[in-house]
A and B are shown apart, each in its own frame.
Chain A
Amino acid sequence: KQEVTQIPAALSVPEGENLVLNCSFTDSAIYNLQWFRQDPGKGLTSLLLIQSSQREQTSGRLNASLDKSSGRSTLYIAASQPGDSATYLCAVILNKLVFGAGTILRVKS
C-alpha cells in the first residue's frame, strides 16, 4: 500500500528565506507526482506536476524535484513571502491520488 509522508509537519520562517519541503513515498511505481497548495478552508491549487520520467519542474520561485528510485520529492521555494503561507500537499498519482498529510508553512514578515 502506497504511503506518502511529508516532513516537516510545520515550518515557520522569516520572509526572504529559501526553504525546502520534503515528500517521501513507499512505492516507486507511480505515474506522476503533484504538489498542491491549500489555504485555510479553501480548495487545492496545483503548483507543479512532475511526470515519472522527469527529474524536476520549475514555476517561478518554485522548483520541484523527483527521485523515484529513492522515493523522494522536494519542493524548493526561493525568497519566501508572507503570501506563501499555506499548507503544501504532495500527492503521488497512481490510479488515484495518494496524499501526504501536508506541511503547514508560515512566512513571517
Chain B
Amino acid sequence: EAQVTQNPRYLITVTGKKLTVTCSQNMNHEYMSWYRQDPGLGLRQIYYSMNVEVTDKGDVPEGYKVSRKEKRNFPLILESPSPNQTSLYFCASRPSQANYGYTFGSGTRLTVV
C-alpha cells in the first residue's frame, strides 16, 4: 500500500531533550515536507525537500532541523524542544511533477512539558 509512515504517533517529552520524528514514504516521491498544525493557526510548513540532499526552510523553521540522506526518509529533528513546539506534526510527500497531489502521514502528536 502506498503510504507515508510517521513514528511515533504520540510523544510526550521534557524541555531540552533532543528528539527525532521519523517519516518514510514508499512511493519513490522526490518531494517531502513537514507541517505543524495548531488551533487557530492552521497548517504551516516547517521544512521541505525537493530531493536527496536538498532541503529548504518553510514558514516556521525555527527550532527544527531536517535531513534527506535517502529518498524515502525525511526525519524531523528537535535539538532542544520547548513547550511552544507542542503541536500536531504531519509529514507529506508528492512526486516532483506539480500535477500530482500530496499524500500525508497519520500525524505525530508531540507534547513538550
**Residues of A with Cβ closer than 8 Å to B?**
31-32, 34, 36, 41-46, 49, 51, 89, 91, 93, 96-97, 99-102
Q: Which residues of A contact B105 (CB under 8 A)?
A: 43
Known contacts: A43-B106, A46-B103. The answer to whether A31 contacts B98 by CB under 8 A is yes
B107 at the interface (CB under 8 A from A): yes
Q: B45 in the interface, Cβ–Cβ < 8 Å?
A: yes
> How big is chain B's contact interface, by range?
20 to 34
Min CB distance A51 to B, Å, is 6
Q: Which of A43, A96, A101, A102 contacts B90 (CB 8 A)?
A: A43
CB–CB A89/B101 < 8 A: no
Complex interface: chain B residues within 8 A of A100 (CB): 42
Closest Cβ–Cβ distance, residue A57 to chain B (whole Å): 10
Q: Which of A34, A41, A51, A101 contacts B102 (CB under 8 A)?
A: A34
Chain B residues, CB < 8 A from A99: 42-43
Q: Are A42 and B106 in contact (CB-based, < 8 A)?
A: yes
Chain A residues within an 8 Å CB radius of B102: 34, 46, 91, 93, 97
- Of B35, B58, B102, most A-chain CB atoms within 10 Å: B102
- Interface residue B109 (Cβ < 8 Å from any Cβ of A): yes
B85 part of interface (Cβ distance < 8 Å): no
Given contacts A42-B106, A96-B33, A97-B43, contact A49 B48 (CB under 8 A): no
* Given A96-B45, A97-B92; A43-B98 close (CB under 8 Å): no
- A31–B90 Cα distance when bound, in Å, is 22
Chain A residues with Cβ below 8 Å from B48 are 96
A34→B48 CA distance, assembly (Å): 18
In the bound complex, what is the Cα–Cα distance between A42 and B109 (angstroms)?
9
- A32-B88 CB under 8 A given contacts A96-B48, A96-B58: no
A residues near B106, Cβ cutoff 8 Å: 42-43
Q: Which residue of A lies closest to B109 (CB)?
A: A41
Complex partner residue of B107 from A32, A42, A101, CB under 8 angstroms:
A42
